[in-house]
């Protein structure tokens, strides 16, 4: 059983994650308060949007502020690198320093680690996460294309073999066939790991169907936007929740 906080990532209707993308602590607080009447399961702090993200003390203050606003919410900490669609470029050494700082802060329930990073640094961060009881989502994002079926399955299974609690892959479709490729690969990997959660999505308007079909193909978590989307194709969180319940 894999959890983010008290949220179990299991089979059935996908859980909903809402990203918050404020550029300042004040904006993050406003986004947290905006969520008060929304229905969701997990909040993702996209810390790469924070203007002062290169200062660990500022990141610490942001985490404290969010925990004060959302004391019991399952919190996923993510720094999306520029190469994979993020807002800010930082050295790889700082990328891992930041993740390890967040893990040790005890303010986060899960952390996102990109798959195509330094292997020894990934393993060290995984060890720290295990020691602190923090769930690891390992991820890969391609904003330009959809990898082949074999590439998608190899990446997702590679994440599992490396030690990820959850394997995640998002890609951009150019055609409807690309969406089908992503969904087929999701089902194939889920069949190989039936009791372990994976997260996949096809981005943009063309891939929107992938954000609501997780119960069929095996994706355990889907992302819905609140005040601002963090990736193309995200549905508004209330609309997403209504669609999922209707399909369920």
Q: Is 44 annotated as a binding residue?
A: yes
The answer to whether position 204 is within a domain reads yes
User: What is the model's pLDDT at position 231?
Assistant: 62
User: What is the model's pLDDT at position 234?
Assistant: 80
The answer to whether position 18 is within a domain reads yes
Active site residue 168: yes
Distance separating alpha carbons of residues 169 and 49, to the nearest angstrom: 21
The answer to whether position 6 is within a domain reads no
The mean pLDDT value of the chain amounts to 95
Residue written as token pair 């899960």: 110
The ranges of the chain with pLDDT < 70 are 227-233
One of 15, 107, 168, 190 is an active-site residue; which one? 168
Q: Is 219 annotated as a binding residue?
A: no
Q: Is 45 annotated as a binding residue?
A: yes
Q: Is 245 annotated as a binding residue?
A: no
Q: Is 230 annotated as a binding residue?
A: yes
The answer to whether position 198 is within a domain reads yes
User: What is the model's pLDDT at position 248?
Assistant: 83
Strand 166-171 relative to strand 135-142, pairing = parallel
Q: Is 117 annotated as a binding residue?
A: no
Kindly state the DSSP code that residue 88 receives in the 8-state scheme: B
The answer to whether position 243 is within a domain reads no
Dihedral pair phi/psi, residue 86, rounded to 5°? -80, 180
User: What is the model's pLDDT at position 51?
Assistant: 97
The model carries a pTM of 0.95
Residue written as token pair 């399909």: 247
User: What is the model's pLDDT at position 100?
Assistant: 98
CB-based contacts of 210, cutoff 8 Å, min separation 6: 179, 182, 183, 186, 200, 201, 202, 217, 219
Active site residue 141: yes
The closest of 13, 49, 3, 33 to 231, measured between CA atoms, is 49
Domains in the chain: how many in total? 1
One of 23, 141, 160, 248 is an active-site residue; which one? 141
Distance separating alpha carbons of residues 230 and 18, to the nearest angstrom: 9
CATH number at residue 93: 3.20.20.70
The answer to whether position 244 is within a domain reads no
Domain ranges, residue 177: 12-238
């Amino acid at each position: 059983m894999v959890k983010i906080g008290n949220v179990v990532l299991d089979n059935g209707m996908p859980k909903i994650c809402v990203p918050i993308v404020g550029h300042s602590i004040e904006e993050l607080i406003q986004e947290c308060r905006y969520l008060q009447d929304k229905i969701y399961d997990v909040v993702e702090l996209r810390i790469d949007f924070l203007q002062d993200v290169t200062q660990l003390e500022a990141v610490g203050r942001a985490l404290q502020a969010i925990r004060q606003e959302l004391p019991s919410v399952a919190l996923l900490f993510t720094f999306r690198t520029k190469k994979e669609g993020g807002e800010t470029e930082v050295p790889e050494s700082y990328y891992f320093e930041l993740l390890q700082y967040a893990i040790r802060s005890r303010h986060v329930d899960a952390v996102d680690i990109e798959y195509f990073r330094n292997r020894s640094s990934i393993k060290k961060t995984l060890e720290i996460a295990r020691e602190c009881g923090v769930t690891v989502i390992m991820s890969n994002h391609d904003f330009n294309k959809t990898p082949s079926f074999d590439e998608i399955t190899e990446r997702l299974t590679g994440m599992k073999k490396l030690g990820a609690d959850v394997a995640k892959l998002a890609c951009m479709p150019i055609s409807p066939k690309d969406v089908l490729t992503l969904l087929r690969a999701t089902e194939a990997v889920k069949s190989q790991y039936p009791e372990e959660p994976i997260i996949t999505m096809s981005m943009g308007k063309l891939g929107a169907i992938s954000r609501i079909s997780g119960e069929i193909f095996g994706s355990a978590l889907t992302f819905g936007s609140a005040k601002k989307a963090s990736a193309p194709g995200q549905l508004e969180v209330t609309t997403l929740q209504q669609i999922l319940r209707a399909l369920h």
